Amino acid sequence: MVFFSSGDDISKEWAPQAVKSGAHAIDNSNAFRMNPEIKLVVPEVNGHLLDENSKPQVIANPNCSTIQLVVALKPLADAFGIEDVTVATYQAVSGAGLPGYDELLQQTQNYQDMDHEPKAFPKQILFNCIPQIGGFSEDGFCSEETKIMNESPKILGLPDLKVSAFTVRIPALNSHAEAVWVTLNKEVSKIEFINALGSFEGLAIFTEDYPTPLEASGEEPVFVGRIHQDKHNKKRWLMWVVADNLKKGAALNGLQIAERLFS
């Protein structure tokens, strides 16, 4: 078994060679995620795909913000069916790697200077929010939004699911948060909604308080809080989804894939 977490080009070159040599290749890049022949896996959601073929293969680890979203959506899809999903993300600087993490810390140390030259981000991150993660395409979506919209239906096994995403970088050090609007196929009560989430592996539900990125950092579950019904559509529900993007959003999910392969 080989873990790849070093970028698309290296993964494209070396992951197939690892497979030819008899190893499973678990890849954390974007290189293979939307390849229809490659499995894109979140074990709690579609881990059964790993049981279908145990021979060496490339297995794609999804985008960090996609992972926490689909863990929260899967039990709802199974219990009630989902018509569409809208998500706005609030993503920590650790998602940009060590340069992004260090840039926020450095700017914080000189917080009285209100004019910082950005390097890891397109604009100053201190005391700011940046509505761009990755480059923009001609349709106005940035690459992070496209990943969420494309990967989620594939992982959930719902190719016709409509997902709309808007991603924002915020000056939090770690853990991503998401405001999610999900339209179900039928009307359900709040108790039914919460019970569906509460019985699902990998989720921790807040019924009174709500989770924050600071509290989720270093933790393994995907946290869900602020569950409430839309005032204009009784089939639509709102929820707040938070997870450590370096753990469940990356390393932990990869380890869970490996555990599933070799259990």
Active-site residue numbers?
64, 176
CA distance 225 to 229: 13
| Cα 19 from Cα 16, distance rounded (Å) | 5
Which residue type does 247 have?
K
Sheet holding 82-91, edge to edge: 162-169, 82-91, 176-184, 236-243, 222-229, 203-205
Pairing of strands 58-60, 82-91: unpaired
Rg (the chain; Cα; Å):
19
SS (H, E, C) 69-118: HHHHHHHHHHHHCEEEEEEEEEECHHHHCHHHHHHHHHHHHCCCCCCCCC
